[in-house]
Homo-oligomer: A and B are copies of this chain.
Amino acid sequence: MSLDKKIKKSQSEWMKGKGPMGDVVISTRLRLARNLADFPFPGRAEPGDLKEVRNRVEKVLEKLNYGLKILDLKEIPQLERKTLVERHLMSMNHAEDGPEKVLAVDEFEMISIMINEEDHMRIQVLFPGMQLEDGLRLINEIDDAIEEELVIAFNEKFGYLTSCPTNVGTGLRASVMVHLPGLKLAGRLGQTLQLISRLGMVVRGMYGEGSESQGDIFQISNQVTLGASEGETVENMVGIISKVVEQERQARQYLLKNREDEIRDQVQRAYGLLSHAYRMNTEEALGLLSDLKLGIELDLIKEVEPSILSQLMVLIRPAMLQRIMGQELESGLRDVKRAELIRKKLSGGESHVR
């Protein structure tokens, strides 16, 4: 298979398009934590229980009309599992060896369901851009279909019961990935992030808890799962994210108006380095991709597709890179192959600034 084809095959649907508010919002993710009523939670369950949970859930999933493919993680090599994490289809935790772990995923990689992670089920939907409401509709639809077939652990007072108390209630975690280079360059990032926190949201890096922010990309998600309905949670987030998007857009226009030469130089240099460097580590690549994407959104760079950041921020990850290149690579060689992949992606269009 050619490199081009391998790259294409490695892209989830959400990376390719630009969704609503796609100038700032990269993707929207929602997940529900659910457990079967008649079995102990995975942390305390016997292998026999987990097997039974798995069988029951798989049977239900097969009946659903989402074209879910069921992957027994035991049969999937470690490197391949890591690519699933890098594509945000499952958690790092789920990639570790453990009994009866399963991932169900549709061909567009829009829906993914983990079986026997921290909870019996973690149902996830993933969309490009800002699509919290559509996301909630879809995930509710999936949840309803599952609950028609299985008895779910639910308490009238607390709501859905989960392994970790932070998920009890709705079991919903909604996350929006935003790209905030304008606020950073304008020196206003700190104050925006503080505001978000004060409004009850959590701000993290690209890969959730414990991951650092790279490439000016932040994941904003709800803190609270108790005391508010799914609808209220999402509605609240829509308001906050819209505000963040507005601030980022204002910062970009401010930069364009007051520091145009500097910004133009920075984004064009990023483009030049990305399209020419012979080796590059992930951190540098993400920083430059962030600049490039800013240039695209400000219309300073016209010949690169806006989804370049969504695509490459995943494709250049160590496991994805090795999968695309079809070989295991030690770290030094990875930097060379990463740069090659980026050059390849960027040479698709006419890539010159004149």
- Residues in chain A within 8 A of chain B (CB atoms): 261, 264-265, 268-269, 271-279, 332, 336, 339, 343-344, 347, 351-354
Complex CA gap A275/B272 in Å reads 7
**Shortest 9 CB-CB distances between A and B: which pairs?**
A272-B276, A272-B272, A265-B278, A264-B278, A268-B276, A268-B278, A265-B279, A272-B273, A276-B353
Complex CA gap A224/B177 in Å reads 70
Complex CA gap A352/B283 in Å reads 23
**Residues of the B chain whose Cβ atoms lie less than 8 Å from the Cβ of A265:** 277-279, 339
> From residue A352, how far is it (CB to closest CB) to chain B in Å?
6
Return the contact of A343 from the options B275, B278, B354 (Cβ within 8 A). B354
- Whether the Cβ atoms of B336 and A347 lie closer than 8 Å is no
**Residues of the B chain whose Cβ atoms lie less than 8 Å from the Cβ of A278:** 261, 264-265, 268-269, 353
**Residues of the B chain whose Cβ atoms lie less than 8 Å from the Cβ of A277:** 265, 268-269, 272
> From residue A201, how far is it (CB to closest CB) to chain B in Å?
36
Nearest-CB residue, chain B, relative to A274: B272
Complex CA gap A278/B301 in Å reads 12
**Residues of the B chain whose Cβ atoms lie less than 8 Å from the Cβ of A269:** 273, 276-278
Q: Which of A261, A269, A274 has the most CB of B within 10 A?
A: A269
- Whether the Cβ atoms of A351 and B354 lie closer than 8 Å is no
